[in-house]
Amino acid sequence: MVEKSHFEEVVYLLWYGKLPTSIELETFKETLKAQRPLSDRAMEMLKLIPTQAHPMSALRTMCSLMGSLDPRAHIVNPEESQRKAYHLTGVFPTIIAAFFRLRGGKEPIAPDMNLSQAANFLYMMTGEKPAPEMEKALDAYLILLADHGLNASTFAARVTTGTLSNLYSAVTSAVGTLAGELHGAANQHAMEMILEIGAADKAASYVNRLLDEKKKVMGFGHRIYKTRDPRAEAFREIANNLCVKAGKTEWLEIAGIVESVMMERKKIPCNVDFFSAPVLYVLGFPPDFFTTVFAASRVAGWSAHIIEQQLDNRLIRPLAEYVGPQDAYYVPAKDRK
Ligand SMILES: CC(C)(COP(=O)(O)OP(=O)(O)OC[C@H]1O[C@@H](n2cnc3c(N)ncnc32)[C@H](O)[C@@H]1OP(=O)(O)O)[C@@H](O)C(=O)NCCC(=O)NCCS
């Protein structure tokens, strides 16, 4: 899909289970674009979020707020969820870019309806229409992160949906779950690590020290992929092209050494978050915004899962095995020791 398609087409595939005809695709894109603008009320509220808040915290708050502003938020059925899915998928980049600009003391930029989802996202961040290779790189990122089975945030969205709660609540749960560093925030920490290492000759000792201290190296390992993450391979190529063009080959060298130490000592390959980190950095996103870009893509997958859950719902309620004391009994507070 990265080679042949674009994000909007992939979202259509996720939501409708087939690739669109040309006419279907045009209608789909227009419907999605119409959701891009942030209402004045929502913008006022975004401006109330402290600019030192983590961008994922701001996005989670705004996602919840979208539900408070939608008078039909409480109606739960697949058709309503589809409408809400368009809304959140369309508006997430606008929220993220607006928060980015507000944090930098700049006014938010209104979406450009003539641009693709990826190009418009970059345009709202910088005010400049992106070069084709930048648009293509972000589009590839959005495609590769759009869905991935029952990962933690998607599972959280399914659990919330299973209670018959609405799509805004489910996506808010998912954003909160994505924000942790064992899941979506690994991309932020991977880039921060590369920047902190700073030079290729320091990379091996840095990673060895982390491993000696039994710390996790962000951007490596996966619960499902034990040999390789196919998305990481796609990002390796994109990162190579972008970093070479941007004159940032030292990041590639550092990343290469980190990768070989991880393979030599732990036999753990990199995951999607490792080589996608320099890609997002070259595109102009600060590391603490990386996970919001992940969310701007994954919201499409979350929505597809939410609707699928609603079409054949059953409450998700795992059993817990109790392992505490069996002979506990109630003692009045005055008698407790
Ligand atoms: C993704 C992750 C949570 C999956 O973990 P998991 O399947 O539960 O595997 P575990 O955390 O139980 O790790 C198994 C072993 O591999 C090691 N390991 C796994 N990932 C590691 C990493 N990134 N760095 C160093 N060691 C790692 C663990 O320390 C453990 O070693 P041990 O058996 O000697 O104690 C884990 O690989 C990780 O924390 N990665 C870093 C965060 C990340 O990049 N997340 C994004 C995932 S797409």
What digits encode the pLDDT tens for the residues 147-200?
Answer: 999 999 999 999 999 999 999 999 999 999 999 999 999 999 999 999 999 999
CA of 25 to the centre of ligand 1 (A): 40
How confident is the model at residue 146, as a pLDDT?
Answer: 98
Name the pLDDT band for 48 (thresholds 50, 70, 90).
Answer: very high
In angstroms, what CA-CA distances link 158 with 76, 131, 196, 283, 314? 14, 38, 37, 32, 10
Q: Is 270 in the pocket of ligand 1 (CB under 6 A)?
A: no
Give the separation between CA 115 and CA 42, rounded to whole angstroms: 23
Give the separation between CA 70 and CA 72, rounded to whole angstroms: 5
- Cβ atoms of 179 and 291 closer than 8 Å: yes
Query: At residue 60, does pLDDT exceed 90?
Result: yes
Residue 65 CB contacts under 8 Å (≥ 6 apart), including other chains: 42, 45
How confident is the model at residue 29, as a pLDDT?
Answer: 98
From 115, 141, 143, 117, select the one nearest 129 (Cα to Cα): 115
How confident is the model at residue 55, as a pLDDT?
Answer: 98
Q: Is 268 in the pocket of ligand 1 (CB under 6 A)?
A: yes
Q: Is 298 in the pocket of ligand 1 (CB under 6 A)?
A: no
Question: Tens of pLDDT along 229-280?
Answer: 999 999 999 999 999 999 999 999 999 999 999 999 999 999 999 999 999 9
Atom 1 of ligand 1, nearest CA residue = 222
- Cβ atoms of 96 and 36 closer than 8 Å: no
From 302, 230, 301, 305, select the one nearest 270 (Cα to Cα): 230
Helices (H), 17-77: 22-33, 40-48, 55-69
CA of 131 to the centre of ligand 1 (A): 37
With a pLDDT cut of 70, the percent of the chain lying above it is: 100
CA of 182 to the centre of ligand 1 (A): 8
- Cβ atoms of 138 and 164 closer than 8 Å: no
Question: Tens of pLDDT along 80-133?
Answer: 999 999 999 999 999 999 999 999 999 999 999 999 999 999 999 999 999 999
Which residues make beta-bridge pairs with 220? 270
Give the separation between CA 6 and CA 298, rounded to whole angstroms: 15
Give the separation between CA 267 and CA 318, rounded to whole angstroms: 33
Q: What is the dihedral of CA 213, 214, 218, 220, to 10 degrees?
A: 130
CA of 163 to the centre of ligand 1 (A): 31
Which residues make beta-bridge pairs with 150? 148
**Cα dihedral sign, 211-216-220-224:** positive
Radius of gyration for the chain, computed over Cα atoms and rounded to the nearest angstrom: 21
pTM of the model: 0.96
Mean pLDDT in residue range 6-34: 98
Provide the token pair at 283: 């595109």
Atom 2 of ligand 1, nearest CA residue = 222
Q: What are phi and psi of 284, to 5 degrees?
A: 105, 5
Backbone φ/ψ region at 142: left (φ over 0), alpha (ψ -120 to 50), beta: alpha
Query: At residue 228, does pLDDT exceed 90?
Result: no
Mean pLDDT in residue range 296-300: 98
Set out the domains of the chain in order of their start, with CATH numbers.
7-178+288-311 (1.10.580.10), 186-282 (1.10.230.10)
Provide the token pair at 14: 């996720």
Give the separation between CA 278 and CA 270, rounded to whole angstroms: 13
Give the separation between CA 213 and CA 61, rounded to whole angstroms: 36
How confident is the model at residue 127, as a pLDDT?
Answer: 97
Atom of ligand 1 nearest to the CA of 229: 48
The three-state secondary structure class of 253 is helix
Active site residues: 222, 273
